[in-house]
Amino acid sequence: MITVTRRERFNAAHRLFNKNWTDEKNESVFGKCSNKNWHGHNYILYVTVKGTIDQETGYLIDLKILSDILKEKVTSKLDHKNLNIEVDFLNDTITTAENIAVKIFEEIAPEIAKHNCQLHCVKLVETENNFVEYFG
Ligand code: NI
Protein backbone atom coordinates (compact mmCIF):
# COMPACT_ATOMS: atom_id res chain seq x y z
CA MET A 1 0.00 0.00 0.00
CA ILE A 2 1.19 3.50 -0.74
CA THR A 3 -0.10 6.59 0.99
CA VAL A 4 0.33 10.33 0.59
CA THR A 5 -0.18 12.73 3.49
CA ARG A 6 -0.89 16.42 3.51
CA ARG A 7 -0.50 18.55 6.64
CA GLU A 8 -2.67 21.58 7.34
CA ARG A 9 -2.92 23.78 10.40
CA PHE A 10 -5.72 25.80 11.91
CA ASN A 11 -6.29 27.74 15.11
CA ALA A 12 -9.70 27.58 16.71
CA ALA A 13 -11.66 28.11 19.90
CA HIS A 14 -14.00 25.64 21.55
CA ARG A 15 -15.30 24.25 24.80
CA LEU A 16 -16.37 20.73 25.67
CA PHE A 17 -20.01 20.85 26.62
CA ASN A 18 -22.89 18.40 26.61
CA LYS A 19 -26.07 20.45 26.28
CA ASN A 20 -28.12 17.70 27.96
CA TRP A 21 -26.12 18.07 31.15
CA THR A 22 -26.14 20.72 33.87
CA ASP A 23 -23.26 23.19 34.12
CA GLU A 24 -22.13 21.32 37.23
CA LYS A 25 -21.98 17.99 35.43
CA ASN A 26 -20.17 19.50 32.44
CA GLU A 27 -17.63 21.02 34.78
CA SER A 28 -17.14 17.82 36.70
CA VAL A 29 -16.64 15.69 33.55
CA PHE A 30 -14.77 18.12 31.29
CA GLY A 31 -13.05 20.32 33.88
CA LYS A 32 -11.25 23.33 32.45
CA CYS A 33 -12.01 22.11 28.91
CA SER A 34 -15.58 23.19 29.60
CA ASN A 35 -14.67 26.80 30.50
CA LYS A 36 -17.69 28.95 29.61
CA ASN A 37 -15.43 31.64 28.12
CA TRP A 38 -13.83 29.23 25.64
CA HIS A 39 -10.21 28.27 25.07
CA GLY A 40 -8.20 27.56 21.94
CA HIS A 41 -5.84 25.14 20.26
CA ASN A 42 -3.32 25.25 17.44
CA TYR A 43 -4.57 22.17 15.65
CA ILE A 44 -2.49 20.21 13.18
CA LEU A 45 -4.35 18.05 10.69
CA TYR A 46 -2.77 15.18 8.75
CA VAL A 47 -4.85 13.79 5.91
CA THR A 48 -3.62 10.50 4.44
CA VAL A 49 -4.83 9.20 1.11
CA LYS A 50 -4.27 5.71 -0.32
CA GLY A 51 -4.56 4.31 -3.82
CA THR A 52 -2.41 3.44 -6.79
CA ILE A 53 0.18 5.47 -8.59
CA ASP A 54 -1.03 6.95 -11.85
CA GLN A 55 1.43 5.70 -14.47
CA GLU A 56 1.18 8.88 -16.52
CA THR A 57 1.81 11.38 -13.72
CA GLY A 58 3.63 9.24 -11.16
CA TYR A 59 1.25 10.65 -8.54
CA LEU A 60 -1.13 8.88 -6.19
CA ILE A 61 -2.97 12.20 -5.97
CA ASP A 62 -1.87 15.63 -7.11
CA LEU A 63 -1.11 17.35 -3.79
CA LYS A 64 -2.42 20.63 -5.16
CA ILE A 65 -5.82 18.96 -5.55
CA LEU A 66 -5.67 17.54 -2.01
CA SER A 67 -4.57 20.90 -0.65
CA ASP A 68 -7.44 22.67 -2.44
CA ILE A 69 -9.99 20.18 -1.03
CA LEU A 70 -8.67 20.72 2.50
CA LYS A 71 -8.72 24.49 2.15
CA GLU A 72 -12.25 24.54 0.80
CA LYS A 73 -13.80 21.91 3.05
CA VAL A 74 -11.80 22.30 6.26
CA THR A 75 -9.43 25.15 6.96
CA SER A 76 -11.54 27.92 5.43
CA LYS A 77 -14.38 26.81 7.71
CA LEU A 78 -12.41 26.11 10.91
CA ASP A 79 -9.43 28.45 11.00
CA HIS A 80 -9.86 31.30 13.51
CA LYS A 81 -13.39 30.13 14.25
CA ASN A 82 -15.35 28.99 17.27
CA LEU A 83 -15.88 25.29 16.59
CA ASN A 84 -18.98 25.10 18.80
CA ILE A 85 -20.97 27.79 17.05
CA GLU A 86 -19.52 28.73 13.66
CA VAL A 87 -18.96 25.50 11.76
CA ASP A 88 -21.92 24.00 9.88
CA PHE A 89 -20.72 20.40 10.01
CA LEU A 90 -19.95 20.54 13.75
CA ASN A 91 -23.41 21.65 14.80
CA ASP A 92 -24.68 19.56 17.71
CA THR A 93 -21.28 17.93 18.13
CA ILE A 94 -19.23 17.87 21.32
CA THR A 95 -16.03 19.31 19.89
CA THR A 96 -13.57 16.72 21.13
CA ALA A 97 -10.64 15.91 18.87
CA GLU A 98 -12.29 12.53 18.24
CA ASN A 99 -15.52 14.05 16.97
CA ILE A 100 -13.77 16.74 14.92
CA ALA A 101 -11.62 14.09 13.20
CA VAL A 102 -14.67 11.96 12.36
CA LYS A 103 -16.59 14.94 10.98
CA ILE A 104 -13.64 16.11 8.89
CA PHE A 105 -13.28 12.58 7.52
CA GLU A 106 -16.95 12.55 6.52
CA GLU A 107 -16.65 15.98 4.88
CA ILE A 108 -13.64 15.20 2.70
CA ALA A 109 -13.93 11.46 1.91
CA PRO A 110 -16.43 11.95 -0.97
CA GLU A 111 -14.29 14.72 -2.50
CA ILE A 112 -11.12 12.65 -2.36
CA ALA A 113 -12.94 9.65 -3.87
CA LYS A 114 -13.57 11.73 -6.99
CA HIS A 115 -9.85 11.65 -7.75
CA ASN A 116 -9.29 7.93 -8.18
CA CYS A 117 -8.06 7.35 -4.62
CA GLN A 118 -9.41 6.83 -1.14
CA LEU A 119 -9.18 8.63 2.19
CA HIS A 120 -7.18 6.45 4.57
CA CYS A 121 -6.78 8.44 7.77
CA VAL A 122 -7.51 11.76 9.38
CA LYS A 123 -5.09 12.52 12.20
CA LEU A 124 -5.81 15.53 14.36
CA VAL A 125 -3.19 16.82 16.77
CA GLU A 126 -4.79 18.96 19.46
CA THR A 127 -1.85 19.50 21.79
CA GLU A 128 1.80 18.60 21.82
CA ASN A 129 0.96 15.38 23.64
CA ASN A 130 -2.49 14.43 22.36
CA PHE A 131 -3.71 13.35 18.96
CA VAL A 132 -6.44 11.16 17.49
CA GLU A 133 -6.61 9.14 14.28
CA TYR A 134 -9.75 8.09 12.44
CA PHE A 135 -9.70 5.46 9.69
CA GLY A 136 -13.37 5.51 8.74
NI1 NI B 1 -9.75 22.06 24.21
pLDDT digits over 56-79, tens only? 999 999 999 999 999 999 999 999
Look at residue 121 in the predicted model and tell me its pLDDT: 98
Q: Which CATH superfamily is domain 2-134 in?
A: 6-pyruvoyl tetrahydropterin synthase/QueD (3.30.479.10)
pLDDT of residue 114: 97
When pLDDT is averaged across residues 28-34 and rounded to a whole number, the result is 96
Domain ranges for the chain: 2-134
What is the distance, to the nearest Å, from the Cα of residue 113 to the centroid of all Cα atoms in its chain?
A: 17
- Residue 41 annotated as catalytic: no
Nearest residue to 16 (alpha-carbon basis) of 104, 130, 98, 124: 98
Q: How remote is the CA of residue 52 from the centroid of ligand 1, in Å?
A: 37
Find the 14 Cα to ligand 1 centroid distance in Å.
6
Q: What is the pTM of this model?
A: 0.96
Q: Are 125 and 108 in contact (CB under 8 A)?
A: no
Q: Given 33, 98, 111, 121, which residue is catalytic?
A: 33
| 39 belongs to the catalytic site | no
Ion ligand 1 neighbours, Cβ < 5 Å: 33
Q: Known catalytic residue: 80?
A: yes
Which one, of 11, 15, 19, 13, lies nearest residue 92 by Cα? 19
